[in-house]
Structure 1
Amino acid sequence: MNWTLEVVVVPVSDVDRAKEFYAGRLGFAVDHDTDLGGAGRIVQLTPPGSGCSIVLGRGVVPEMPPGSLKGLQLVVADLEKARAELVERGAEVSEIQVVGQNPRPVPHPLDNVGFVFFRDPDGNEWAVQQISARG
């Protein structure tokens, strides 16, 4: 049986501001933006090429303090290119960091050990890791 992670709830204080950050700055696709009237609102966005989406909302998503989500991780094949794109889109992103030791030979020194980090406007923390080939 396959188990797939499809959606992660990202707690935000302002749905419109967060939607602008993820869609407008980072280029996530807006899958839907549903106003449920007095019951709330759900915005679902998907990173380019991802099988997992994020959900922002009010009233109908689990209550979590805005900015409390840490450790979300995106994976890319080319970290230098991804970082440059984030910077071009106006995201405040760290320099490339190499983490830990890689126990096997890799085609590029950043594979599995190269990361950059950024935060959304509420302080939710993201990592971007380079993995260009999987064993």
Structure 2
Amino acid sequence: MDWKLEVVVIPVADVDRAKLFYEEQAGFTVDHDTRLRDGVRVVQLTPPGSACSIVVGTGVISSAPGSVKGLQLAVPDIEKAHAELAARGVAVSPVQHFVAGSRVDGHGEAWNNFVFFNDPDGNGWAVQEVPSAA
């Protein structure tokens, strides 16, 4: 049996601000923005090419806004990803890699090239370059 990760819920303080950030700055597609009942709103967004979406909303999670860290996207070209995020106004780190557990500016070996950013609430994202042969 296949088990597929479909949705990750991201806690945010302001749903409209988060929706705007993920759609306009991170480049995610808005799949739907649904008000189920008073106090429950679900906004689902999907990164381009991803089979997994995120959900932001009200009444959908009790975690503190900004408490999610370590979300990771995979891209074939880290420089292009960095340029796209920066052009959309995202405060994105320079290209970095890991040496002995610490982040160092510049490119590393295959599988070790990243950029990092946070959403407006501080939820943390990494973007990893995945070699095309993988």
TM-score scaled by length of structure 1? 0.89
Deviation at 1:51, TM superposition (A): 0.4
Q: Which residue of 2 aligns with 1:114?
A: 113
Query: How many pairs align?
Result: 128
Identity percentage of aligned residues: 59
Matched AA of 2:132: A
Distance in 1 between residues matched to 2:29 and 2:109, nearest whole Å: 27
Q: Deviations over 1:34-82 (max 9, x none)?
A: 01231410000000000000000111x1210000000000000000000
1:38 alignment partner in structure 2: 38
Q: CA deviation at 1:9?
A: 0.3
Gaps of 5+ in 1: 102-107
What does residue 104 of structure 1 align with?
Answer: none
Aligned to 2:29: 29
Question: Normalising by structure 2, what TM-score?
Answer: 0.89
Using the alignment, how far apart are the partners of 2:111 and 2:78 within structure 1? 10
Aligned to 1:19: 19
What letter corresponds to residue 118 of structure 2 in structure 1? R
Partner of 1:105: none
Q: For the aligned residues, what is the CA RMSD? A: 1.7
**More displaced, 77-86 or 31-40?**
31-40
Structure 2 stretches lacking a partner, 5+ long = 101-106
Number of the residue aligned with 1:5:
5
Identify, as 1 or 2, the structure richer in strand.
2
